[in-house]
Amino acid sequence: MKRPFRFGLQAFEGSSAGEWFDTVRRAEDLGYDALFSSDHYFGPGAISDATGHRPVDMAPLTSIAMAAARTTTLRVGCRVFCCDFHHPVVLAKEMATLDVLSEGRLIVGLGAGWVRDEYDGLGVAMERPSVRIAKLAEYVDVMRAHWSGAELDVHGSFVDVSGFAGLPKPVSPSGPPIMIGGGAPKILGLAGRLADIVSLNFNNASGRLGSSSVMSSGAAETEEKISWIRDGAGERFDQIEIEIGAYFVGVGEGAAAQLDAMAARFGVAADEFASHPHAFFGSVEQVCELLLERRERFGVSYVTVAQRHLDEFGPVIAAMAGR
């Protein structure tokens, strides 16, 4: 079964109400399915310089709540909440509340964290990956128990909650969809086992964005990632929606030059970079064909576009309607 395409927008920028709400309005008008914030807390400075990660203007919970309040069809969420930055019950209640107030338009993204410099800058201890992933699994247990309306009784290595029922109950009896992403075997296996949406990302174990993480996520590596998801999911694999970030985009007349420049940045040939699963360069029709090819090859039907490509990608969304 081929899933219909959905398109998200990853929004980092907007330091004023006017900028933020213009982005929100444009996303809904252009047919994006969802607007995602990002769970990072650093502005310009040493952390951004060292990691290659853009500073994030707005805090996630408030910004997506306001986005939901100003729209009628746009889903909202965070890609993704880092478990180490939030108490699981507090986050579960915030998510349930936002789901109710948005009338069921919430997507809950959860992650195990990866930016060591941010952990250090915030004074938060960063455990080894296996510990953070185990913690994430327990957070999912708490979320779903909280949203069930039954009295909580969850006890694990990182979570110890009991003696009360979670309120409010989300719009859907099963709660909002949970998205888990990553680029390594353990996290993608867990995502396959627990998530409704699995987000394919680079392997960011180094805590840095750069050539090594980008070029370790090519077509062959992405096929391997799908196998890790499948191993974790077992018989429920066909129920999972596969999402990917369109991090490298050029649509229209300048696409060839943009592709050449991006390939040179990462030290590879343009034709090699054009086949990168996170890259979408070409005319509107060519990008549509890439989407269809990657759904066929990898099962990817959910594509999230960076805010800087909001308008540029709009014609692609229009052209893909119903395909």
Print burial letters for 82-110: b (CB count within 10 Å at least 16), e (below 16): bbbbbebbebbbbbbbbbbebeebbbbbb
94 half-sphere exposure, CB direction, 13 A CA radius:
15
Question: To the nearest whole percent, how much of the chain has pLDDT over 70?
Answer: 96
pLDDT digits (tens, 9 = 90+) for 258-282: 999 998 988 888 998 999 999 999 9
3-state secondary structure of 122: helix
pLDDT digits (tens, 9 = 90+) for 169-178: 999 999 999 9
The ranges assigned to domains in the chain are: 6-320
pLDDT at 210: 59
The model's pTM is 0.94
Give the CA diameter of the chain: 61
Question: To the nearest whole percent, how much of the chain has pLDDT over 90?
Answer: 83
pLDDT at 203: 66
User: What's the rounded Cα separation, in Å, for the pair 318 and 288?
Assistant: 10
pLDDT at 213: 67
pLDDT digits (tens, 9 = 90+) for 21-73: 999 999 999 999 999 999 998 889 998 888 888 888 899 999 999 999 999 99
Single-letter code of the amino acid located at 47 = I
Mean pLDDT of the chain: 93
54 half-sphere exposure, CB direction, 13 A CA radius:
14
> Is the confidence at residue 205, as pLDDT, over 80?
no
- 81 vs 208, which has greater pLDDT? 81
**Is 3.10.450.50 the CATH number for 6-320?**
no
